[in-house]
Amino acid sequence: MSKHELNARNLLRPLPVIRTQNKIASLDAGDHLVVYCTDPGTLHDIPAWCRVHGHTLVSTAESADEIIIEIEVVKD
Amino acid sequence: MSKQRKAVSLISGGLDSMLATKVIQDQGIHVEGINFYTGFCVEGHTHAIRKKDKEKQKKNSSLWVAEQLGIKLHIIDISEEYKDIVLNPKHGYGQNLNPCLDCKIDMVARAWQWCMDNDFDFVITGEVIGQRPKSQRKETMPIIARESKIEDRLLRPLCAQHLTETLPEREGWVNRDELFDFHGRNRKPQLALAKKLGFDEWSQPAGGCCFLTDESYSNKLQDMWDARGERNYEVDDIMLLKVGRHIRPAKHFKLIVSREQGENNFMRGYRPMYSYLYPTSHGGPLTLIDGTPTEEDILTAARVVARFSQGRDADEVAVNYVAKHNEGEQELKVKPMPVAEIPDDWYIH
Ligand code: SF4
């Protein structure tokens, strides 16, 4: 298992979820991806995207100027 | 055992594609969704930008639909390639700068390519004959199938009974008798079907799925092309057309004046790429300048900025000007331009 990061700051939705999707396509099962973003809409989009694709949402954290979402990759 | 057939559904986030997908799932087909991001999509953007819309901050409709249906959704960024559709639509525009027919052909072609790459059998859409004046007419349905090169692997479950039989119907992958004959703008059949299928919530995209159907947005895009003397755009251009007041005092320059704090914050990210102005003696809007203003134009621009500042009634407002790619700031002391002096035709709307 390895940990990866994705900078999706200053991108408006749906771009953060698209970048997350594309990054996860290149990762292996069990890998973790930490996504950094600023558009609050991603707090809806990334967890919903994880649910429909069966990935595990490890955590979400929100500060004044940043949102951090960690995902564990699950592959069929 | 017969092969499990698979379809990809164009999910817009509205009710029709949701119904079309469910109808095909209920016939035992494995369905996954696909959604294309063109850069002009209405959803999310302005809500994320405008502070007053923050409370409207909500789910992404296409992801929400996918969740209701229990299908995977693949969201694909086509914003770069999509330029060619917007700039050179073979079939022309709709009421505004919406190239709906070319757009549909392009999206179906991409969905079909995705099918071939992923071993899927056909594409479904929620189109209904006669629902949209330009792209959803009986005559345009075969054009979409032909020009996207998908031919008879494009199934429209909601109006299939009005159309020639497709391969999935002929082969018995789906039962044509259980598809529908909806047509026209009357939404009652869709609402009845939604009820029957157990859906009691769906999003209702107003007007269309993208900004290109919006008159004011299209006017701003056309104005940008006219002023630049060429029909082209970058993704940043089309983002900025969604925010602020757009004021063009002359062909060679335009002001984008933020209307509130949320837009101000969003536009701050564009400061490295534009000349800009902001009032310092009073609260007021960040204003980006697009074009090549002269020194006199900058003074005019500063007076407009002062007019939209909290010092609009003051004798003098201090406005800082920062030229593009220049670290230094220049302080300008100007008299706010009276409202009556700003000609109506400076406003692009
Ligand atoms: S409204 Fe926009 S996204 Fe929808 S078909 Fe027309 S051009 Fe394409």
Same domain, B151 and B252: no
For ligand 1, atom 6, the nearest C-alpha belongs to B100
Using the Cβ of B48 and the Cβ atoms of chain A, whether some distance falls under 8 Å is answered with yes
Using the Cβ of A17 and the Cβ atoms of chain B, whether some distance falls under 8 Å is answered with yes
Beta strands B253-257 and B245-250 are antiparallel
Q: Is residue B221, in this structure, part of any structural domain at all?
A: no
**Cα angle vertex B185, ends B43, A14, to 5°?**
10
Q: Which two tokens stand for residue B213?
A: 């159907």
Same domain, B102 and B158: yes
Same domain, B74 and B135: yes
Same domain, B53 and B170: yes
Q: Is residue B233, in this structure, part of any structural domain at all?
A: no
Chain B nearest C-alpha distance from A31 (Å):
20
* Cα–ligand 1 centroid distance for B205 (angstroms): 12
Say if the Cβ atoms of A52 and B59 lie within 8 Å: no
Distance CA B143, CA A1 (A): 49
Same domain, B135 and B187: yes
Q: Is the CB of B99 under 6 A from ligand 1?
A: yes
Q: Which two tokens stand for residue A66?
A: 């940043």
Q: Residue B131 has what pLDDT?
A: 85
Residue B39 CA from chain centroid, whole number:
6
Check if the beta carbon of residue B108 is closer than 8 Å to that of residue B125: yes
Residues of chain B neighbouring A39 (CB-CB closer than 8 A): 44, 48
What is the span of the domain harbouring residue B331?
243-346
Same domain, B206 and B257: no
Say if the Cβ atoms of A41 and B57 lie within 8 Å: yes
Q: Could you report the per-residue pLDDT of A23-70, keeping only the tens digit for each?
A: 999 999 999 999 999 888 899 999 999 999 999 999 999 988 899 999
Same domain, B87 and B207: yes
Say if the Cβ atoms of A13 and B66 lie within 8 Å: no
- Does residue B123 come out as left (phi exceeding 0), alpha (psi in the -120 to 50 range) or beta? beta
Residues of chain B neighbouring A13 (CB-CB closer than 8 A): 43-45, 48, 60
Say if the Cβ atoms of A18 and B75 lie within 8 Å: yes
Same domain, B39 and B181: yes
First to last CA, chain B: 61
Same domain, B26 and B114: yes
HEC-encoded secondary structure of B119-136: CCCEEECCCCECCCCCCC
Taking the model in full, what pTM does it have?
0.91
Same domain, B117 and B161: yes
Q: Is residue B34, in this structure, part of any structural domain at all?
A: yes
Q: Is residue B238, in this structure, part of any structural domain at all?
A: no
Q: Is residue B134, in this structure, part of any structural domain at all?
A: yes
Q: Is the CB of B98 under 6 A from ligand 1?
A: yes
Q: Is the CB of B104 under 6 A from ligand 1?
A: yes
Q: Could you report the per-residue pLDDT of B13-69, keeping only the tens digit for each?
A: 889 999 999 999 999 999 999 999 999 987 655 555 665 555 555 678 899 999 999
Q: Is residue B10, in this structure, part of any structural domain at all?
A: yes
Segment B117-134 mean pLDDT: 91
Can you say whether the dihedral through the CA atoms of B46, B48, B54, B55 is positive or negative?
positive
Judge whether residue B266 has pLDDT over 90: no
Distance CA A5, CA B54 (A): 27
- DSSP string over B223-236: HHHHHHTS----HH
Say if the Cβ atoms of B37 and A15 lie within 8 Å: yes
Domain A3-72: give its CATH superfamily: TusA-like domain (3.30.110.40)
Same domain, B63 and B126: yes
Total number of domains constituting chain B: 2
Q: Could you report the per-residue pLDDT of B196-228, keeping only the tens digit for each?
A: 999 988 876 544 578 999 999 999 999 999 999
DSSP B102: H
Using the Cβ of A34 and the Cβ atoms of chain B, whether some distance falls under 8 Å is answered with no
